[in-house]
Amino acid sequence: MFFLKEYKAKKVKAPDNFSNRRRIMSSDNKNLIYLLNKRFSWMKKYIKGKKIIVELGSGNGCIKKIIDNKKIMLTDIIKYPWIDKKVDMLKINLGKKYLKKVDIFIINHSLHHCANPGATLKKMSIYLKKNGFILINEPETSFFLKLIQIVLDDESWSLKSKVFNRKSIFNPKSPWISNTAVAQLLFKNDKKFQRYFPQYKILENKLSEFLIFLNSGGVNSSFFHIKLNNFFLKILNIIDEILIFFLPSIFALNRTIVLKKINEN
Q: What confidence tens digit (pLDDT) does each residue in 161-198 have?
A: 999 987 899 988 888 999 999 999 999 999 999 999 99
The rounded distance, in Å, linking the Cα atoms of 97 and 102 is 10
Q: What is the CATH number of the domain that holds 90?
A: 3.40.50.150
Does residue 1 fall inside a structural domain? no
Does residue 189 fall inside a structural domain? yes
Does residue 217 fall inside a structural domain? yes
Tens digit of pLDDT at every position of the chain (265 positions): 567 899 999 999 899 999 999 999 998 999 999 999 999 999 999 999 999 999 999 999 999 999 999 999 999 999 999 999 999 999 999 999 999 999 999 999 999 999 999 999 999 999 999 999 999 999 999 999 999 999 999 999 999 999 998 789 998 888 899 999 999 999 999 999 999 999 999 999 999 999 999 999 999 888 899 999 999 999 999 999 999 999 999 999 999 999 999 998 6
Does residue 223 fall inside a structural domain? yes
Q: What confidence tens digit (pLDDT) does each residue in 56-84 have?
A: 999 999 999 999 999 999 999 999 999 99
Domain that holds residue 105: 6-261
Does residue 22 fall inside a structural domain? yes
How many structural domains is the chain composed of?
A: 1
Does residue 141 fall inside a structural domain? yes
The answer to whether the Cα torsion of 153, 149, 76, 120 is positive or negative is negative
For position 2, what pLDDT does the model report? 64
Give 199's DSSP letter. T
DSSP 3-state of 139? strand
For position 181, what pLDDT does the model report? 97
Sequence-distant (≥ 6) Cβ neighbours of residue 72 within 8 angstroms: 47, 53, 54, 55, 63, 64, 106
Does residue 51 fall inside a structural domain? yes
The values of phi and psi at residue 153, to 5°, are 45, 50
